[in-house]
Amino acid sequence: MSAGDFESRWLSPDVNSVWTRFLQVTHRLEHHIDRRLQEQHGITHTQYEILLRLADSDERAMRMSDLADSIVTAKSAVTYQINKLSEMGLVSRKKCGRDNRGIWVHLTEDGSARLEQAAPCILSLVRELFLDAISCDQAAELDKLLGTWSDNLDAHDRNPVAYPGHPGAEAA
């Protein structure tokens, strides 16, 4: 594959194959994680990510809009998930004192317990389905590629997402 392959209007077959394989692998990985979490812990991967973000935040709470940005999804999708998590007693909601339009989402004790129970499942799956399949050198190369893609997305995005190790992560 050469750089010229990326310049035509349509993807060449080999470049299209890379893109298609990337999509298939990421979707399959997400499906495996989602299915296992639902079977063993009664939550989806998205719900796990929400609980994790809340646990990692100050006072185990975030504004709904910031939560949506942190998991890179639409606010309506987060609202749907928060409704489900609230029904399970894993989060609670409160109006923002300074801004009546804002909603704060708080991790409950039950939510913290569910997150703690589900974490070993996620870690096991990450190792089994992702890390065990590649060498340390391949992981380092993948990290470089992901950094390149993330930087490119940041350059095209009005709200870049800070991730651990990213130059702007500490400020975010």
Helix (H) or strand (E) holding 155: helix 136-156
User: Each residue of 85-137: pLDDT tens digit?
Assistant: 999 999 999 887 776 678 899 999 999 999 999 999 999 999 999 999 999 99
The CA distance from 62 to 78, in Å, is 12
Q: What mean pLDDT value characterizes the chain? A: 87
The CA distance from 80 to 85, in Å, is 9
Per-residue pLDDT for 159 more than 80?
no
Sort 32 into a burial class: Cβ within 10 Å, 0-12 / 13-18 / 19+.
middle
In the prediction, which pLDDT does 98 show?
Answer: 72
In the prediction, which pLDDT does 15 show?
Answer: 87
CATH code for residues 43-156: 1.10.10.10
Nearest to 90 by CA among 54, 66, 58, 139: 54
In the prediction, which pLDDT does 164 show?
Answer: 55
In the prediction, which pLDDT does 147 show?
Answer: 94
User: Each residue of 53-87: pLDDT tens digit?
Assistant: 999 998 999 998 899 888 888 888 899 999 999 99
The CA distance from 27 to 112, in Å, is 27
User: Each residue of 14-50: pLDDT tens digit?
Assistant: 888 999 999 999 999 999 999 999 999 999 999 999 9
Strand order in the sheet with 91-95: 61-63, 103-107, 91-95
Q: How far is CA 157 from the centre of its chain?
A: 17
In the prediction, which pLDDT does 169 show?
Answer: 46
